């Protein structure tokens, strides 16, 4: 299915029959990606007396409970409710699902204390004069082990506050990154990049989202894409999500 998309940068054609999934599947066990010291996701059949919700065990249907943490067990999309005193849910904040997105690749700078940081200069050099609705950041090195990496207590790379403020100034509404957080793993609860991007609490941008723990294969080139953010309708600050890209071809 081919569709025409008109954006301030011009008119584009997208083939919706060729999706590029940049989410990490939610899987049980230790091999799944994990962060924030949470337990691995659990999927187990419901049991009621002699009945079990597992066809392999003699049940009539597969009927399972799932236990997980959206922030720690895989790709997820969050709203400002993640850091606010007010109750905001991703289901209420994310009302549009297709966006023009720019994919960029960055090698974070390494500081003397061992921190790896994405700076404003990194973003400026990659984004140039483009003003996308969504920004997707792929970090180097981009090894396939990201899909099952355990991030807890590893001090992963993160965005500087200045970089987050710059992204905000570009009017980017949807920020996606292949790390467990846009902020430092241990920062005393400041969450500077989250606050800067959402401008919370003084000028809160309720429509904005952050998607973390994506994985963009090296076979996908930097550039402009159509992005579809798919979530479950959780009345919660975050939901497991499935961001999907579509190649765009500009109409001459």
Contacts of 187 (CB under 8 A, 6+ apart): none
CA distance 234 to 246: 25
Closest CA relative to residue 94, chosen from 229, 224, 198, 243: 229
> What is the mean predicted confidence (pLDDT) over 35-46?
97
pLDDT band at 230 (very low <50, low <70, confident <90, very high): very high
User: What does the pLDDT look like over 132-186, one tens digit per residue?
Assistant: 999 999 999 999 999 999 999 999 999 999 999 999 999 999 999 999 999 999 9
pLDDT at 209 over 90: yes
pLDDT band at 1 (very low <50, low <70, confident <90, very high): confident
Give me the pLDDT at residue 231, please. Answer: 98
Q: Is the CB of residue 178 less than 8 Å from the CB of residue 156?
A: no
CATH architecture of 2-36+70-250: 3-Layer(bba) Sandwich (3.50)
Residue 140's CB: how many other CB atoms inside 10 A?
11
Q: Is the CB of residue 69 less than 8 Å from the CB of residue 36?
A: yes
pLDDT at 9 over 70: no
Q: Is the CB of residue 222 less than 8 Å from the CB of residue 132?
A: no
Give me the pLDDT at residue 165, please. Answer: 98
Q: Is the CB of residue 82 less than 8 Å from the CB of residue 238?
A: yes
CA distance 160 to 222: 22
CA distance 126 to 33: 28
């Amino acid at each position: 299915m081919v569709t025409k998309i008109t954006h301030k940068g011009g008119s584009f054609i997208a083939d919706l029959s060729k999706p590029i999934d940049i989410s990490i599947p939610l899987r049980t066990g230790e091999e799944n990606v994990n962060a924030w010291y949470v337990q691995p996701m659990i999927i187990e059949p419901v049991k009621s007396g002699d009945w079990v919700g597992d066809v392999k065990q003699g049940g009539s249907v597969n009927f399972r409970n799932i236990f997980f943490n959206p922030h720690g067990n895989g790709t997820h999309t969050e709203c400002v409710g993640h850091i606010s005193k007010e109750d905001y849910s991703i289901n209420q904040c994310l009302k549009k699902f297709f966006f023009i997105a720019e994919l960029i690749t960055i090698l974070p700078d390494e500081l003397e204390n061992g921190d790896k940081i994405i700076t404003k200069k990194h973003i400026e050099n990659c984004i140039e004069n483009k003003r996308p609705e969504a920004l997707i950041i792929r970090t180097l090195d981009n090894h396939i082990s990201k899909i099952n990496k355990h991030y807890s207590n590893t001090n992963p790379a993160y965005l500087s506050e200045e970089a987050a403020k710059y992204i905000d100034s570009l009017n980017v509404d949807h920020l996606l990154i292949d790390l467990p957080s846009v902020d430092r793993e241990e920062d005393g609860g400041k969450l500077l990049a989250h606050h800067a991007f959402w401008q919370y609490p003084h000028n809160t941008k309720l429509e904005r989202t952050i998607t973390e723990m994506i994985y963009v294969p090296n076979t996908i080139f930097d550039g402009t894409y159509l992005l579809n953010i798919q979530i479950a309708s959780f009345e919660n600050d975050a939901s497991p999500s499935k961001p999907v890209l579509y190649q765009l071809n500009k109409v001459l």
